[in-house]
Chains A and B, each alone.
Chain A
C-alpha cells in the first residue's frame, strides 16, 4: 500500500451547530484538525462527540456553520461521496459477506480494477494481522477480529480522513489496550487524518496527538494529552481527565504571584497568569499530593494498598474527603486509619480556578 501522507486532508470546523428541536447537541464548535493528525473527541455520553463525528461523516445534517476538508466545504456533499473511512462502534461488518468481501466492498464501489482489489485487500488484512481469516464469515470471528476487519475495510480505500466512533468500547480490557496500540501504529504508518471518538480518558491520552474535551455540546479544552492532563483549563476537564480533588480557598494576588489561603489555616504562594482577588478552587490530583509534616491537616479514614501505590482517603477538618496516592517506592510503610497527617503539594503542579466563572488562574 502506498504511503498516504500526501493525500490526507485537514478538517476545519467553523461554528458547527446541530439542533434537535430546542436542544443544541453541538453548540457553535470550531476545530482545526491538521493533515495527518490523530485527533480525539473526548467526553461523557451525551456531550455531542458522536453527533459531531456523524456530521463530518455526512449522517447528520449541519444545521449551522461549516465543515471543510482542506478548503472545500463539504456540508452538502452526500455521505457516500465524502471519501471518508469510518469504523463503527458495533463494527457494522456486513454479515452476509466474508472477510475478504467485506474489505473489498469499498474498493468495488470505487470501481477499482479487479486485478488490483485482491492484492490491496490482502495487504490490508496483513496489516491488521488477520490475513489467515480471509474466507471466514463474520459470525465465525471474535469481537477483536471483527474490529480488525472493520479497520481494514475503512483504510483500504485510502480515505483522506478516517473516523472512528468508540471502536474499542465493545472489547474486553486487555484486548482494548492491544487494539489501541495497533490503531496508533497503523495511523502513524499511513498518516491518515484521524478523528477518534471515545469516552475513555485513558484511551484518549494514550492514542491521540491532540484531544478536544467536550461537555454538553461545547468544547471545554483542546490540547495535547500531556497539556490537558497537567494544565486542565477548568474543573470539568480536571476531573474528567484523571481524578482531581477540589479544595475551596481564597486568593489575593500581586505581580503574577498569588497567595492562596485554605480555611485560614494554611497558605502558600504560586505563580498565576492573571491578577485575581477572591474565592477560588484549588485542583490537585491524588498523585500530586503527598504526606508531609506541614500542610493541610487531616485524618486518614481509609487506606487501600494497591501494590504500586497506596490510596488514602483523608478527612479534612471541614469534613471534606481528599484522595491521595502515595507510591510504595517512596515510603517504607503504609499509614494506619485514624492517623493525623498533613497534606502538601508542589504549588507549580496544581491548578487554580476562579470560583464564580471556573476560569483558570494558574499558569
Chain B
C-alpha cells in the first residue's frame, strides 16, 4: 500500500492530539463561549419588552446614574495608565542602566506589590488616609488640617497607579535590557546628548513594551471590582460595581441590564486591545541584544541619589502590604484600630473560630484549579506550539479572552447561563451557581493563560529535533511527550502555574458574584469584612493572602530561575 493518506507532516499519532483539541475546545465552548453568548443575548432582552430590544442600552445611556459610571470607569482606567507610564518607564530605566543599591530586593518588592489583590491596597490607604485613618487623624490633631479625601476617583487612581505601574516597569525593563548597546552608542556618536538620546532612541524602541504594559494597567483598572467597591464613597460608581449592584437588585430577574453593562465593558476592552495591537503592529522593532546595554557604575553620594527615587517609589507601592500585616496584630475598638494598646493575636483567633471554611475554600479551590490548569496548560501549550494546524489561531484568541472579559462579567455570564439547568424529578432546580465547581471552573478559565503563555514560550525555544531524537531512538511519540517534552516544559509550566495560583488565591471579582455562604473564599470574606467595617478580621485575612502570595512568589523565583517573565 502506498502512503500519503494523511495530511499532517508527522504521521501516526494524530489521534490522541485530535481528542485533546476536541476536549480543549469543548471546555472553552461550554465555559466561555456558551455563557458569554447567553450574556450577549440576555443584554438584548428585557422584561419590559418582547423579543430583542435595545431597551437596556438606551436606558443605560439615558440615565446619568448609569452613564456617569462609564465616564468614571474610563477616567479611573486612563489616569492610572498615564501615571503608571510616567512612573514605570523611569523606574525601568534606572533599574536597567544604573547600579542601584539592593536592585534584586527592590525588584522582588515591586513584583510582590503587583501580585497582591488590589482591594487590599485600597483598604490600606483607608487605614492610613481614610476618614478615620491614622495619618488623617494625626494631621487633624497636630496641624488642624484636613487632608483631601481618598474616597472616589482620586483615591482609586492613586491605588491603581501604585499597584499597577509594575506592569509598565516589568515590560519596559525587559525591553530595555534587550536594546543592543551599539544602537545607543550610534546615537551618541551622531551627536545626541544623554536626554536627547533617551527621548529619540531609547524610548521609541521600547514603545511597544510601554504600550503592552499600559494595556495591562488599563485593562486591570477597568475590570477591577474590589478597589472602587471599597473606595466608592458616595456617588462614585464604576461599571464593574454597577454590574454587581444591578445583579443584586435584579436577583430572581434575568439581570438584563447588568448584561448590557457587561457588554459595554467588553466592547471597550476589545476596542482598546485592537487599538493597542494595531498601533504596536505599525512600530514593532525586533531586537535581540548581542551586547546588552552598559550599566553605569556610580559610587557614594551619586549612587545613593539614584537609588533614592527607586526606594521611595517601591516602598510606597509596598506600603499597603506592610500596613495590612502590621494592622492584623493591632487591637481594635469596634471598627477602628487602637494603636496605643499594644499587639494582639485576637484577629487570628477569630479566623480560627469562624472563618476556617473560607481559608480552606481558598486553598482547596485554588489547588484543584491549579491541578486542572497544569494538565490542560501542558496539553494546550503543546497543541498551540507543535500542532497548530488550522485551530491554533482560535486557541490563541481564547487565551486572550480573560484579558478582555473582566472577572465580574464572567461571573455574570455563569449566573445567566448556569443558574437554571432544568429540574430534577422532585422539582429542585439544577444549577451550577453556588457550587464550588463553578468557582473552580471560573478560576481555570481565567487564570490558565498565565500557564499556557509561559509553557508555550518555553516549548517554542525547544528544538523539535530533541523530541524526534527520542522517537528515533525507539520511544513512542506518547512516551516521548511524557518523558522528554513535558519534562523540558516543566520549569516554564510550573512557574506559569505558580503565577496562576497566586492570582487564583487573590481572585475577587468573579467569586464575589458566584459565592454562597458555603463557598466564600478568603478574598470574599476579607472584602465583606472590610465593607462591614470589621477591620481586624479583614486585616488578618488579607495578611494571610499577602503571606501566601509572597511565599508562592519566592517559589516562583526558585523554579523559574529568572527565565520566565512574570507578566
Residues of A within 8 A of B (CB): 17, 57-66, 75-76, 78-86, 88-90, 92-96, 105-106, 109-110, 150, 153, 157
Contacts and interface: CB of A to CB of B under 8 A. Distances in A.
B473 A78 contact: no
26 contacts: A17-B4, A59-B9, A61-B8, A62-B2, A62-B4, A63-B4, A64-B2, A75-B3, A78-B12, A78-B476, A79-B468, A80-B471, A80-B475, A81-B474, A83-B474, A86-B469, A86-B472, A88-B468, A88-B469, A89-B465, A90-B463, A92-B469, A94-B470, A106-B474, A109-B474, A153-B469
B562 interface: no
B378 to A, nearest CB: 16
Contacts of B4: 17, 61-64
Contact of B488 (A81, A83, A96, A106): A96
B465 A88 contact: yes
Contacts of A59: 9-10, 468, 471
Contacts of A64: 2-4
Most buried by B among A60, A89, A94, A157: A94
Interface of B: 1-4, 6, 8-13, 463, 465-466, 468-477, 480, 484, 487-488
Contacts of B12: 58, 78-79
Contact of A106 (B1, B2, B473): B473
Nearest to B7: A61
Contact of A58 (B11, B466, B469, B484): B11
B463 A92 contact: yes
Contacts of A88: 465, 468-469
B470 A61 contact: no
Given A61-B4, A64-B2, A80 B465 contact: no
A355 B477 CA distance: 51
A65 B10 contact: no
Nearest to B10: A59
B6 A75 contact: no
Contacts of A92: 463, 465-466, 468-469
Nearest to B475: A109
Nearest to B476: A80
B473 A157 contact: yes
- Listed from nearest, the 7 A-B pairs whose CB atoms lie closest are A106-B473, A63-B4, A92-B469, A109-B474, A62-B3, A92-B465, A75-B3
Nearest to A106: B473
Given A58-B11, A96-B487, A79 B472 contact: yes
Most buried by A among B3, B11, B473: B473
B466 A94 contact: yes
A79 B10 CA distance: 10
A80 B472 contact: yes
B6 A61 contact: yes
B165 to A, nearest CB: 36
Contacts of A96: 487-488
